[in-house]
Amino acid sequence: MDDVDRSLLHRVADGDQRALEALYARHGQPLLAYAQGLLADRGRAEEALQDTFLALWRGADSFEARSTVRTWLFGICRRQALGRLPGKRPAPLPMEAAAEVPAGEPGPEAVALARADARAVATALAGLAPAQREVLDLAFGAGLAHAEIAEVLGIPVGTVKSRLFHARAVLARALPVDAAMARISGRETGR
């Protein structure tokens, strides 16, 4: 995927508008969803996306290949979105809070989260710290790897993992796990 993106980016640097359109088609929706998650406003998110691709058009030749084109685009989008936030940037978590997340299969809380009521999920997500919500958006909304998220946000990979761990814990506490677990096991009343 990155070879195609790099080829398109080189064409954009040469002034090829169709290549810019192709990059937009490949990455526009995930970038918009990410910006909307940061800003909680569709209009400002669309402006951030537009400015992201304007910055891409103007600065395609400045890409230094230290990351993937996709990660680079998310970094540009993040800067554009944060520039539209009222107030200041969310404070990063201290390094002491970084905890390794154990690898493995999804546990019961992941299954419960997947089956939880959409309204309860939206309420629980609203209760997350902005830094945790942003990491969730990049991990699950945009499908970025931990290293890519770390690069976009300018934080260590351990901090990304810590934020994901804490976000999952907050969501697990906030969601009606008992009802979800009853649905999973088939003990829900009325069935």
CA 35/CA 46 separation, integer angstroms = 8
Residue pair 93/162 in contact by the 8 Å Cβ criterion: yes
Residue pair 174/133 in contact by the 8 Å Cβ criterion: no
Compute CA distances 85 → 23, 36, 121, 162, 167, whole Å.
Answer: 26, 11, 24, 24, 22
> For tokens 């359109």, what's the residue?
21
Cα-trace Rg, the chain = 19
Q: Is the pLDDT of residue 4 over 90?
A: yes
Q: Is the pLDDT of residue 17 over 90?
A: yes
Q: Is the pLDDT of residue 112 over 80?
A: no
Locate CATH 1.10.10.10 in the chain.
Answer: 95-185
Residue pair 135/107 in contact by the 8 Å Cβ criterion: no
Look up the CATH number of domain 95-185.
1.10.10.10
Q: What pLDDT sits at residue 20? A: 93
Residue pair 171/110 in contact by the 8 Å Cβ criterion: no
Locate CATH 1.10.1740.10 in the chain.
Answer: 2-82
User: H helices of the chain, where?
Assistant: 2-13, 17-39, 42-59, 69-82, 108-115, 118-126, 130-136, 146-153, 157-174, 177-185
Res. 179 pLDDT band, cuts 50 70 90: very low
Residue pair 141/30 in contact by the 8 Å Cβ criterion: yes
Q: What is the largest CA-CA distance in the chain?
A: 64
Q: What pLDDT sits at residue 174? A: 79
CATH 3.40.640.10 describes domain 2-82: no
Q: What pLDDT sits at residue 106? A: 54
